Chain A
Amino acid sequence: GQNIDQPTEMTATEGAIVQINCTYQTSGFNGLFWYQQHAGEAPTFLSYNVLDGLEEKGRFSSFLSRSKGYSYLLLKELQMKDSASYLCAVKDDSWGKLQFGAGTQVVVTP
């Protein structure tokens, strides 16, 4: 079956760094996405990894290891507006479906 695991909640202070881990076991793999979702809003795209390694994009970086079924999203220089849910999603082979993890709620405190 499909299984995508990520922690439920993480708390960090403004200016700090937080790393959100995601492990997956899926029937197919064609890339991994990270999305940010604020309450009551649709997800917004953060990053995409299909090859092993680190992708850096400003304050956000994402890492993938396909052999380990593992990814992380690194948020640096945390700001209050970064308080949100972060969703890990794996692109399935069939129809290109995205399988989502349950999301990690990040709480940034002053």
Chain B
Amino acid sequence: TQLLEQSPQFLSIQEGENLTVYCNSSSVFSSLQWYRQEPGEGPVLLVTVVTGGEVKKLKRLTFQFGDARKDSSLHITAAQPGDTGLYLCAGAGETSGSRLTFGEGTQLTVNP
């Protein structure tokens, strides 16, 4: 069974601070995706990383895929209240086809 562990589970910071969310597994993934979810809504895709060591930037968000394709991180610079939400990482296994395994999520609250 492939598991993705996210840390921290909860994060409450002040506007302007930087933060990093981690997503770790003992399994290798063919790709890893990050989603953001707001209460009562479905997750929204932020980015997909495919290549080990890959770094992608989306405005103030930086995503990194580990060299061994077992872990990933999301770094947010100068967080804003609009960044508040549940951040989920999800991995597509090398043998699981299109099925995604999701982490439990990191609930981020950015206080003004």
Q: Do A and B bind each other?
A: no
Chain B contact residues, CB within 8 Å of chain A: none
Chain A contact residues, CB within 8 Å of chain B: none
